[in-house]
Amino acid sequence: MSSENRIHLDQHAASSIDAYFEYRNIVGDDDNGTLFTPEEYEAYKKKVIPQRMQNRLYVSWTNSEGMDCKLIGPETPCFCKHRYKQHKTDFELPVSSASSLKCKVAGCLCSGYNYIPKNGSQALKCHCKHSALEHSAVSPNACHSRKCSCNGFQTSYRCGCGDLAAAHKLLVETRQQRLERGHPVAKFEPPYAAMGGLTGLSSLIDGYMRLDESGVGCPTKEFLESASTSQNERQMSVSTSYQSRSKQAITKKLSKTKQMQ
């Protein structure tokens, strides 16, 4: 890349960009598109941050055995197509129902935050053959397509955990409720908006691959030792086989060379 196409930032500009990202993570869309003045920003933080740290809601899509198959984060979309951060997530008193997490986008008829998984990058299909995008955001999510008699979205999608999507539920918990379930919480509650169930980078992994108490769990010592032994045996077998094949190939090549001579 030529130097003329690069953007050069001095230390002051870089710190300003960091400050803007910090502002956006804290405020979200609560400024309605117009940046708060420094005084408004400070007043907003004094009001909202203590509330978030005390009443944070941990939101997860949980299967029948209590595994958090999906930990909801700021960017996780709802059935209404808007993201979790576009829903009401700050409360003076904790709530326990997803129906309280109303969408804040003007004109949206969302009945409350409702996570729906995707099949790769594609929206799930209903039994009526139409995609989730063609269904209402109002529960029970009836189909919008003309001449379709579907009264509510139903899918045969099966999660990586093995359960059908219908066997999952959206769980809204306080910090204490989550600790009582034995699931991890943040060491220190962040001041950022709509953190949902995220506590670290591992929270972005699906539950059946997440090696903590909220997912499939950590393998036992015996399993790791047996797996390591099996892996070593496989590696030895592959190495021995490779050496044997190499020796045969060299011998065959030498034999052909002698015949040519």
Q: What is the pLDDT at residue 244?
A: 52
Show pLDDT as tens, one digit a residue, over the chain (261 residues).
455 677 777 778 888 999 999 999 999 999 999 999 999 999 999 999 999 999 999 999 999 999 999 999 999 999 999 999 999 999 988 899 999 999 999 999 999 999 999 998 999 999 999 999 999 999 999 999 989 999 999 999 999 999 999 999 999 999 999 999 999 999 999 999 999 999 999 999 999 999 999 998 887 777 777 755 555 555 555 445 445 544 454 454 455 455 555
CA distances for 239 relative to 216, 234, 246, 250, angstroms? 33, 9, 10, 16
Task: List beta partners, residue 119.
Answer: 122
Q: What is the pLDDT at residue 6?
A: 77
Kindly state the tokens that stand for 209.
């691959």
DSSP 162-196: SSBGGG-EEEEE-HHHHHHTT----SS--S-TT-T
Delimit the domains of the chain by residue range: 10-117+157-209, 219-261
Q: What is the pLDDT at residue 47?
A: 94
The 58-62 sheet, strands edge to edge: 68-71, 58-62, 169-173
CB atoms within 10 A of CB 60: 27
CA distances for 169 relative to 59, 113, 174, 193, angstroms? 10, 12, 16, 23
Contact assessment for residue 58 and residue 195, using Cβ atoms and an 8 Å cutoff: no
**Distance between CA atoms of residues 248 and 65, nearest Å:** 54
**Distance between CA atoms of residues 97 and 90, nearest Å:** 13
Q: What is the pLDDT at residue 10?
A: 79
